[in-house]
Structure 1
Amino acid sequence: MLDRTVQSGIWAGGIKFSSRFLQILMLIVLARLLAPRQFGLVGIALISLSATRNFSNIGLKTALIQHKSANVDNYLDTAWCLEAARGAVIFGVLFIFAPLIAGVFDEPSATPLIRVIGVGPLLFGLRNPGIIYFRKDLEFHKEFVYNVSGGFVQFFVGVGYALVSPTVWALVFAYASADVFRFGLSYLVHDYRPWPSFDISIAKELIDYGKWITASSVLYFLYKEGDDAFVGWFISATALGFYQYAYRIADTPSSEVSEVFASVSFPAYSKLQDSPSELRQALLATTRLTGFVTIPMSLGIALVAPSFVPVVLGPEWTRMIRPMQLLALYGLFHSITRNFGSVFKALDRPDIIAKVSALRVVCIALLIWPAAERFGIEGVALVVVGVYAFPMLPLDVYLISQLTETDPMAFAREWFYPVVAAGSMFGGLWQVRKMFEVSPLVELIALIPAGVIVYTVLCFLLARYSRWQIEGDIRSIVGSLG
């Protein structure tokens, strides 16, 4: 199980890093060609799409992965019909209500963008359901081909269109082209062929498991993108462009790196759901590895933001530096607890995710308006960070400890060592930077390798002279690959 999980993790990491690299590279190129307001207009369309998707998510993929049966062919046709119907409804809702949605944001020009973006879920619902086996069976090398090839299509269409016509449509067609390509590719990479047949008992079984996934998905949208929607509505589309871009970069440790661990650990945890001791060991090992990788990434993003933004994106984007630094702390908190959700789902307790998310939404809703009115997008970022630091982080630790019968201090011990190493790296390099006056380009080039070297050395010393087990984990991973 370890060997297969590690190998799947490598492939899953390749998927996430390749996809995010292509997306970030595309956005960097387009940031030099398009204005922040144009990114905000597309952001309105993407928020609309995300809202309809999350409000209609019935958790079919999660239910099929979590199912104890290795072969779920009997479920696929019914799941395909449900997803196809869902996609058609989403497309219809977005097409009909696009003018109303655009009017809420006082941006009528977003109407056609919303309608074109709405084609994505229509195609998503009709894709081959057989590709669920890639994740269920930990065959991430196949999912790598499926996802990354779509990322290449998105990159070349977006950049190519922008070079010919630098308008907002470059972003829209980039996202739409990836959806079209992945729809066709799904039937080439897996030999299952769906047929429009529907079994009511199967549908009830899938939906019964997914009801809490639906609730948590709705709440996930509200706490993850509700702040985006609020910024676009309360402040402006331009502010939304700054905020979304800052969030997208700052949340990289959570959305990409820890998501790799979460995506691999969920099927692995599901296979261990009847072995509590093995599940606890796997949970602590995942927590240790996640903190080791994501904590320095988050603090590193906060460290390099003042030089990264003007050098890479351009001077017109400097408004996003402070929100980006604040949201890097959110990326840190979010990343180190993200795999907890995989445990809740694997142990058939997705209701916990929904209930915790509801509390988080309430906390953000109470604070976001006065914070935005007083401090703008910096205030919104501060609320997002503050709510996750307290009460969400302690609550997550308490709930996972109770469910798995794990000592809460065990999680704190796993986070302590990377926090010490990364915090020392951040503090030391921050002071060094203040001592020298150099150009942002030179500063950026120097800070990144310096941060990697300092953190690596400190981790080596901590692993050698303390009880931190990260060295053993790395040896196990290397041995599994060998």
Structure 2
Amino acid sequence: MNLAKDFTSKIRYKLSDKFIQNFSWLGGAQIVYRFFRLATTITLARLLNPVDYGLAALVLTTNEFVNVFAQSGIDVKLIQAPEKELNELCNTAYWLNWLMYSGIFLIQCIVAFIIGWAYGNMQLILPICLMATVYLTIPIALVQCVLIQRENRMSVIAVTHMLQLCIDCVLTIILAFLGLGMWAIILPKILVAPIWVWRCYAHHPWRVNSKFTLKNWQEIVKFGRNILGSQLLTTLRNNIDYFLVGTFLGVEQLGVYYFAFNAGLGISLGIITAFSSALFPYLCSVSNNLERLKERFFKGLKTVALITIPLILLQSTTSPFYVPLIFGQKWVIAGAVPILILICLSAIPRPFGDAASQILRAVNKPDIDFKWNVIFTAILVFGLLVGLQWGLVGVAAAVLIVHVVTIPIFTLWSSRYVITTHPDTIFKTSL
């Protein structure tokens, strides 16, 4: 009886932990979404050809590259900021967001013409420009969204993303059956944007309470420039292989690679994203206490490892069986299975790298994270250029090798750096 009570109390304690709650909400939402995503991927794999996939990949990749300029660190600064500075920073952030996202909208429309000309395909211009209209809705509720995260109310964020992404999947399936080709992938992402705005705006009472102001904007920009640099490099790493494959191996090969990447890494990346989103505010709330910071950091690593590693190994080992069964024999013939396996295995170290970045940001060291991203990106680009000599399998192998070799080194170094340079450590050492 005592053992049962002890076990029950431990379970209750773990479930009451804010990180576990947030991760459970975000992870649960991702699982629901991935079921919808699986149905979408199966539908698209059977109704779209590699050329359709390739064109959609170019549109979405272009959007991802431009979107990175929105990752300016404003949201990270609001989560990390002291309470007494928060309201003033929120008002400044609101107006900064409008300036930034309006500029990004114009930039993406200009880039659309460049991409259309570069690939000799003017039908890419319209979808890229339409994707840019989403940016004009984001500033309406972005501050509210960040404050919800700061308050660790990830259940709101989880449900919002789940609704948005699941409706996206349903619309994609409908449009694919209607024969819209690449538009079946592009249009839903535009149509579901208001869902996020509505949910975030409705679930937080903050409203801008001043006229146009940029007071203390330097503080936000100074903190955010390293975040922006890191996000630029992360987006470059996440998409440079698409551009290299499309440029050197052709649009059809890009379609095969894009399918393998999404089918192999979709579920894992969803869990990793949920982990990263839950971990940062969890670490920020104890960033001035070394012992609690260490405890939360390593608890986060242990939790994500227990979930992701068995899942990734299971998916990679069973892929030769489920790919032809679920997605169709044409992807086996196209050579997608070995690429899928290699890309899938590259997900194993990724959450550890994300955790290392989050702990550096939590202790106000985003500059170190940026320097790491410079080094990591350079290594990855070099590896991809070498891997291209062996086609798609060479590219996928390069992605795996670079991630497996470099990320554990960065994770170990970052954790040791934070522990040895934290004010608590310095104080104890001086004693």
* Distance of 2:108 and 2:307 partners within structure 1: 39
What is aligned with 1:190?
Answer: 204
* Distance of 1:32 and 1:110 partners within structure 2: 23
The residue type paired with residue 387 of structure 1 is V
Report the CA distance shift for 1:197/1:41 in structure 2 as closer, same or farther (over 3 A).
Answer: farther
Structure 2 counterparts to residues 291-306 of structure 1, below 5 A:
291-306=305-320
Among 269, 278, 300, the alignment partner of 1:264 is 278
The residue type paired with residue 305 of structure 2 is G
1:359: Cα distance to partner?
0.8
1:3: Cα distance to partner?
2.5
What is aligned with 2:424?
Answer: none
Q: Scaled by the length of structure 1, what TM-score is found?
A: 0.79
- Is structure 2 residue 253 aligned with structure 1 residue 236? no
* Distance of 1:379 and 1:70 partners within structure 2: 52
What is aligned with 1:60?
Answer: 74
The residue type paired with residue 133 of structure 1 is L
Contact 2:360 2:414 in 1 (8 A): no
- Is structure 2 residue 310 aligned with structure 1 residue 332? no
Among 369, 394, 397, the alignment partner of 1:382 is 397
1:186: Cα distance to partner?
3.2
1:404: Cα distance to partner?
2.2
* Distance of 1:26 and 1:275 partners within structure 2: 45
Query: The residue matched to 2:152 in structure 1 has which SS?
Result: coil
Contact 2:105 2:132 in 1 (8 A): yes
The residue type paired with residue 396 of structure 2 is A
Among 35, 49, 57, the alignment partner of 1:43 is 57
Percent identity between the two aligned chains: 20
What is aligned with 1:469?
Answer: none
Report the CA distance shift for 1:129/1:56 in structure 2 as closer, same or farther (over 3 A).
Answer: closer
Note the aligned Cα RMSD (angstroms): 2.2
Query: The residue matched to 1:376 in structure 2 has which SS?
Result: helix
* Distance of 2:405 and 2:18 partners within structure 1: 36
What is aligned with 2:190?
Answer: 176
Report the CA distance shift for 1:367/1:73 in structure 2 as closer, same or farther (over 3 A).
Answer: same
Report the CA distance shift for 1:392/1:40 in structure 2 as closer, same or farther (over 3 A).
Answer: same
Structure 2 counterparts to residues 66-77 of structure 1, below 5 A:
66-69=80-83, 72-77=86-91
1:253: Cα distance to partner?
5.8
Query: The residue matched to 1:192 in structure 2 has which SS?
Result: coil
Structure 2 counterparts to residues 92-107 of structure 1, below 5 A:
92-107=106-121
Report the CA distance shift for 1:21/1:340 in structure 2 as closer, same or farther (over 3 A).
Answer: farther
> What is the CA deviation profile of residues 383-440 of structure 1, one whole-angstrom value per residue up to 9, with x for unaligned ones?
111112223422331232222249xxxxxxxxxxxxxxxxxxxxxxxxxxxxxxxxxx
Query: The residue matched to 1:194 in structure 2 has which SS?
Result: coil
Report the CA distance shift for 1:71/1:314 in structure 2 as closer, same or farther (over 3 A).
Answer: farther
* Distance of 1:128 and 1:365 partners within structure 2: 33
Contact 2:353 2:410 in 1 (8 A): no
Contact 1:81 1:198 in 2 (8 A): yes
Report the CA distance shift for 1:249/1:354 in structure 2 as closer, same or farther (over 3 A).
Answer: farther
The residue type paired with residue 127 of structure 2 is L
1:136: Cα distance to partner?
0.7
Query: The residue matched to 1:308 in structure 2 has which SS?
Result: helix
1:73: Cα distance to partner?
3.2
- Is structure 2 residue 429 aligned with structure 1 residue 400? no
1:83: Cα distance to partner?
1.7
After alignment, is 300-309 or 12-21 more displaced?
A: 12-21
What is aligned with 2:45?
Answer: 31
The residue type paired with residue 296 of structure 1 is P
Report the CA distance shift for 1:71/1:149 in structure 2 as closer, same or farther (over 3 A).
Answer: farther
Among 120, 123, 126, the alignment partner of 1:109 is 123
Count of aligned pairs:
405
1:164: Cα distance to partner?
2.3
The residue type paired with residue 347 of structure 1 is V
Contact 2:343 2:400 in 1 (8 A): yes
In structure 2, list runs of 5 or more residues that go unmatched. Answer: 1-12, 422-431
1:204: Cα distance to partner?
1.5
Report the CA distance shift for 1:128/1:62 in structure 2 as closer, same or farther (over 3 A).
Answer: closer
* Distance of 2:291 and 2:206 partners within structure 1: 37
- Is structure 2 residue 21 aligned with structure 1 residue 7? yes
Contact 1:254 1:338 in 2 (8 A): no
Q: Scaled by the length of structure 2, what TM-score is found?
A: 0.87
The residue type paired with residue 330 of structure 1 is S
Contact 2:150 2:281 in 1 (8 A): yes
1:254: Cα distance to partner?
4.5
* Distance of 2:282 and 2:120 partners within structure 1: 46
The residue type paired with residue 382 of structure 1 is A
Query: The residue matched to 1:200 in structure 2 has which SS?
Result: coil
* Distance of 2:406 and 2:278 partners within structure 1: 27
Among 81, 91, 99, the alignment partner of 2:95 is 81
What is aligned with 2:10?
Answer: none
* Distance of 1:249 and 1:66 partners within structure 2: 35
In structure 1, list runs of 5 or more residues that go unmatched. Answer: 407-482
Report the CA distance shift for 1:122/1:234 in structure 2 as closer, same or farther (over 3 A).
Answer: farther
The residue type paired with residue 386 of structure 1 is I
* Distance of 2:305 and 2:361 partners within structure 1: 21
* Distance of 2:199 and 2:70 partners within structure 1: 24
Contact 1:16 1:260 in 2 (8 A): yes
1:346: Cα distance to partner?
0.5
What is aligned with 2:136?
Answer: 122
Report the CA distance shift for 1:270/1:250 in structure 2 as closer, same or farther (over 3 A).
Answer: same
1:196: Cα distance to partner?
7.1
1:70: Cα distance to partner?
7.8
Among 316, 320, 326, the alignment partner of 2:336 is 320
Report the CA distance shift for 1:382/1:97 in structure 2 as closer, same or farther (over 3 A).
Answer: same
The residue type paired with residue 350 of structure 1 is P
Structure 2 counterparts to residues 269-288 of structure 1, below 5 A:
269-288=283-302
* Distance of 1:248 and 1:293 partners within structure 2: 19
> What is the CA deviation profile of residues 146-201 of structure 1, one whole-angstrom value per residue up to 9, with x for unaligned ones?
22221232122212222223422111111111213323443333333336734333
